[in-house]
Structure 1
Amino acid sequence: MKAVVISEAGSAQNLEYRDVPTPKVKEGWSLVKVKGFGINHSEIFTREGQSPSVVFPRILGIECVGVIEQTTDALRLPIG
């Protein structure tokens, strides 16, 4: 899958759109094919290195819209 990844703290120039392994869907989770996402202020702080608990590399874009492709709870979050 594709993702926006930052490997080390720094400017927006450090953001990289690249292939990453598709995660396995754990119990209680779903896999979403993202159609759009936003970078919020906390992620800007992360990118700048102002979040000391963050480990790099890091995939940014936690706020998103998309389509559920896999799920472990089809009643609450159906595929589609």
Structure 2
Amino acid sequence: MSAAVPSEQRMANQIAANFRHVPADAAAKEIAGHIRRFWDPRMRARLLDLVDSGADGLDPVVVLAAESIRQP
């Protein structure tokens, strides 16, 4: 049995899937903007913790977006 995927990881990967048609840098910018606008600060913090821990299965564009999410 596999461990459940954290909801922040699942949702971030779903957002990334919506931007597969654009270059990775533009997609990362859009993903970061969406997460900043619509996610609760606690959710953003959990996503950043997942990125920092190298969570398996995170979309690489989400990892790129994390850098923008960290910036004010």
Max Rg structure: 1
More strand by share: 1
* TM-score bucket of the superposed structures, by smaller chain: under 0.3
TM-score when scaled to structure 1? 0.24
Give the TM-score of the pair, scaled to structure 2. 0.25
Higher RCO (C-alpha 8 Å, min separation 6): 2
